[in-house]
Structure 1
Amino acid sequence: MSIDSSRTLLSFDLLDDGEHDRLDDWGNRAVLAQPASEPVTVPVLFTAQVVRAPESVALVCGDRSWSYRELDEAANRLAHLLTDHGAGPGETVALLIPRSAEAIVTILAVLKTGAAYLPIDPAHPDDRIGFMLNDAAPVVAVTTADLRTRLDGGEVPVIGVDDPAVEHQPCTAVPGPEPDDLAYMTYTSGTTGVPKAVAVTHRNVTQLVERLHADLPSEPGQAWSQWHSLVFDVSVWEIWGALLHGGRLVVVPEAAASSPDDLHNLLLTEKVSVLCLTPSAAGMLSPERLESTTLVVAGEACPTELVDRWAPGRVMIN
């Protein structure tokens, strides 16, 4: 291989076959050469699961559960109300909702309208919440009764997740988004300056879920945990990794999320087969009786001792 330093160009004329093969391996050329999958939206893939198995359990939170049909209809009703408030492609809807079943219904409803959802962590200080609302300019915000005061004083209209008007909306679908419409926005931590919004399209989400799902053991009806905060990207994979493949999404309540013993009991009770955690959280969780659970860790460096404790006898993906 020769280098023309004056133009910073590489010439591969002098590479032998072995060197070409190594470059192909390093560049993952086999994957790069594959044809791209047809772009598709989250609502289209979710609807396919509703049609395929409408009465299968889609969502579990505490002692309540929703079938795919029930989740679809609940999201459609809320989507109609959001549309009445201006939600649609090119717009943003803010979510100030803790991890819950209501959060999943709201996220799906926003995506059905074509708008992008903006998750806001209730633990954020008021100044940060105000900054995000001013910067993203959502057309409407959805929150719970106990968090509604956090949005007082702003110009954004607010809908409660338990608003009686939702039940009077039709349960039919609203016109959906295009693959290149935005699906969600998240803000950086802002530790190096002013927080910046990262915008992600439907095409991005569905392709990511498709690729990552291919790395998992293929079993019908897998139960996925939803442990991460909604402001972190991993939550997107947790939610749609389950719901776009006919799985059962198990929302981890706030109390269980911070208690290794309670989380362990929940995983056993709900027979969770795909568990996504940070390495530090996984390090506090006992692997006992979780042999059929695939552990996916992300967000931090993974120590070798965690691999030594979890990997034998089960699938672990870093």
Structure 2
Amino acid sequence: SLTFAEVDARSARLASLLAARGVGPESVVALAVPRSAETVVAILAVLRAGGAYLPLDLDYPADRLGLMIDDARPVCVVTTARGLELLPEAGDGPERLVLDAPETAAALAAAPAEFASPAVADGHPAYVIYTSGSTGRPKGVVLTHGGLSNLYANHIADVFGPVVEATGGRRLRALHTASFSFDTSWEQLFWLVAGHELHVLDEVGRRDAEFVVSYVREHRIETMDVTPTYALGLLDQGLLDPAAHRPALLLLGGEAVPEALWSAVRAATGVMSVNLYGPTEYTVDALAADLAASATPVVGRPIGNTRAYLLDAALRPVPAGATGELYLAGHGIARGYLGRFALTAERFVADP
């Protein structure tokens, strides 16, 4: 485990090494770090250095990882000895900064435990997430610091605030089970940013529903964020059993919520729940719905500083009851697709 002081010092030291390699605003750093608390440290280090991080899922085939690295052209790839084995050959590509290599460990130990971050504007990139979309060709979506700041403010006011108040205003324990290669991982990282205790399950543990429920009870986890499919597996293992400890807040997202799951969660006394929706091209969440407010599944209403429109093919609003396509606007909108200007111009249209 790491204290807040240790996270601060470790991320500062790594940020110093990254800055020395030219990382700053408008640059990208690829992260190929096996899932652990060190993944969180690496993310924070990149952001403190002013760069944008690109998470690489080491379960992906090496050739897909290679395509992402070639396309994003990061300043460097932060990894470990184990991660290095799973990455494609470096060739003439970006430097591999291996965290547990003796020379890197020595450099980190010698680096200062404080770091002065460069000035970062709202429009600067914070992270890049690759999605295959409908074409099958991976494309990087560039999300901004401003989008993250807006989402954090919304979470503090509308997600964290109610459950913190309901639990007496104390520091809570949050469970991190999402893949770091998906933007939903920020739902859980924000708890750490807000001063709460974050538990990061390893790759094996997070995939085992029985283990997750046991962990929630043993460590008295109070908040978690999962997909509906994941939630169904946890409920089968007794996550919401009234005779045992259960979380005070359950966030759902990433998929449509089945009616049976919606009803089961609403019926759990003392458990708050919010359904969150947002495409990769919007910073994590664009719409939110409190399950207590609706007897049937809904995607909800726009979060703060977000607008949602239902439009037809000519970008005209459709009448009530008609089918349209959802368009989003606001502080969380992505900058576009990395290096794909024509596709960005096609998909990111003028706000009607």
Aligned to 2:201: 252
Mapped contact 2:192–2:198 kept (Cα < 8 A): yes
Mapped contact 2:175–2:188 kept (Cα < 8 A): yes
Aligned to 1:283: 232
Aligned to 1:168: 110
Mapped contact 2:216–2:246 kept (Cα < 8 A): no
Task: Summarize deviations over 1:101-141 as a string: whole Å, max 9, x none.
Answer: 11000000000000100001111112211111111110111
Identify the range of structure 1 (138-147 vs 162-171) with the bigger mean alpha-carbon deviation: 162-171
Mapped contact 1:225–1:238 kept (Cα < 8 A): yes
Give 1:259 deviation, angstroms: 0.9
Aligned to 2:149: 206
Give 1:96 deviation, angstroms: 0.8
Q: Summarize the alignment of residues 98-109 of structure 1 with structure 2, pairs less than 5 Å apart.
A: 98-109=34-45
Identify the range of structure 1 (139-148 vs 171-180) with the bigger mean alpha-carbon deviation: 171-180
Mapped contact 2:249–2:272 kept (Cα < 8 A): yes
Mapped contact 2:56–2:65 kept (Cα < 8 A): yes
Of 215, 219, 235 in structure 1, the residue corresponding to residue 185 of structure 2 is 235
Aligned to 1:37: none
Aligned to 1:126: 62
Q: Summarize the alignment of residues 49-198 of structure 1 with structure 2, pairs less than 5 Å apart.
A: 65-149=1-85, 150-154=87-91, 155-162=93-100, 163-164=104-105, 165-180=107-122, 181-198=124-141
- The 3 A distance-change label for structure 1 pair 317 and 284 is same
SS at match of 1:225: strand
Task: Summarize deviations over 1:232-289 as a string: whole Å, max 9, x none.
Answer: 11102210x2122111111011121111111011112222111101101110112222
- Flag structure 1 segments of 5+ consecutive residues without an equivalent: 1-64
Give 1:224 deviation, angstroms: 1.4
Mapped contact 1:112–1:177 kept (Cα < 8 A): no
Give the whole-Å Cα distance in 2 for the aligned partners of 1:290 and 1:214. 26
Give 1:292 deviation, angstroms: 4.1
Q: Which amino acid aligns with 2:89?
A: D
Which of structures 1 and 2 has the bigger CA Rg? Answer: 1
Mapped contact 1:220–1:246 kept (Cα < 8 A): no
SS at match of 1:193: coil
Mapped contact 1:90–1:115 kept (Cα < 8 A): yes
Q: TM-score of the superposition, structure 2-length normalised? A: 0.69
Give 1:193 deviation, angstroms: 3.5
Aligned to 1:223: 173
- Flag structure 2 segments of 5+ consecutive residues without an equivalent: 276-352
- The 3 A distance-change label for structure 1 pair 101 and 177 is farther
Task: Summarize deviations over 1:29-59 as a string: whole Å, max 9, x none.
Answer: xxxxxxxxxxxxxxxxxxxxxxxxxxxxxxx
Q: CA RMSD in A?
A: 1.5
Mapped contact 2:30–2:56 kept (Cα < 8 A): yes
Mapped contact 1:250–1:270 kept (Cα < 8 A): no
Give the whole-Å Cα distance in 1 for the aligned partners of 2:247 and 2:73. 44
Aligned to 1:262: 211
Task: Summarize deviations over 1:63-113 as a string: whole Å, max 9, x none.
Answer: xx2121111001001111111111111110000123211100000000000
> Does 1:315 find its partner at 2:251?
no
SS at match of 1:142: strand
- The 3 A distance-change label for structure 1 pair 84 and 151 is farther
**How many equivalent residue pairs?**
253
Mapped contact 2:220–2:246 kept (Cα < 8 A): no
Identify the range of structure 1 (172-181 vs 108-117) with the bigger mean alpha-carbon deviation: 172-181
Give the whole-Å Cα distance in 1 for the aligned partners of 2:265 and 2:201. 21
Structure 1 moving runs of 4+ over 4 Å: none
- The 3 A distance-change label for structure 1 pair 225 and 156 is same
Mapped contact 1:78–1:109 kept (Cα < 8 A): yes
> Does 1:300 find its partner at 2:255?
yes
Give the whole-Å Cα distance in 2 for the aligned partners of 1:68 and 1:179. 25
Give 1:191 deviation, angstroms: 4.6
Mapped contact 2:9–2:114 kept (Cα < 8 A): yes
Mapped contact 2:28–2:51 kept (Cα < 8 A): yes
Greater RCO structure (CA 8 Å; 6+ sep): 1
SS at match of 2:204: helix
> Does 1:272 find its partner at 2:221?
yes
